[in-house]
Chain A
């Protein structure tokens, strides 16, 4: 089946720094990727839709200047958390689909901001 690879799996950074998370679709092309966020013991919440070659579409309440998304190619989308704060600490998960449903998810990135 379709495989989505996410890197890094965990990262610790200091407050005020920026962190980049990569999401790659292996063995298939993804014109659209999705970035989700999960707080402890809560549901997965869609943050934004990443579109290859165009601007990302952000969900209501998500700061586009804080969470920069770049979909540089058909197999790579990146999420950059800029000027990270402790409240940005969370589990970030990307997803993509090969043609139709279902969505396939990466293994997620645990971000801890100290």
Chain B
């Protein structure tokens, strides 16, 4: 049972345009969401997060939107740069008190390619 889903395995955008990566979750107990970026053969790098009490969090070119009623979050990258090309994972925590421990449930990842 995949509790965190990224239904688009890949996304290709032109440099300078907006990249929108989507993530859906099924468990309403999740209360904290994170986006990680990952290059091959490396560990994930934290990008941005959002608490369930918010619906938007912005950090530079990265903005995360949370729609709790739809159980959906998205990561917007604008403007997209070729260096943003990587696999992006969304992750959630909060069930069974896991927000206190740090346990994360990851989506399957979306491979973003930003073309020059």
Contact = CB atoms under 8 A, between A and B. Distances in A.
B32 interface: yes
B60 interface: no
Interface residues of A, number: 25
A102 B46 contact: yes
A34 to B, nearest CB: 6
11 contacts: A9-B41, A10-B41, A42-B108, A44-B89, A95-B43, A101-B32, A102-B46, A103-B46, A103-B102, A105-B44, A107-B42
* Residue in B44, B45, B106, B108 with the greatest tally of chain A CB atoms within 10 Å: B44
Contact of B43 (A6, A32, A46, A97): A6
Interface string B78-113: 000000000001000100000101111111110000
Contacts of A106: 43
B44 A101 contact: no
B22 interface: no
Interface size range of chain B in the complex: 20 to 34
Contact of A102 (B41, B49, B105, B108): B49
B102 A4 contact: no
A34 B108 CA distance: 19
A44 B102 CA distance: 14
Contacts of B34: 101-103
Interface in A56-106: 91, 93, 95, 97, 101-106
A105 B43 contact: yes
A93 B38 CA distance: 12
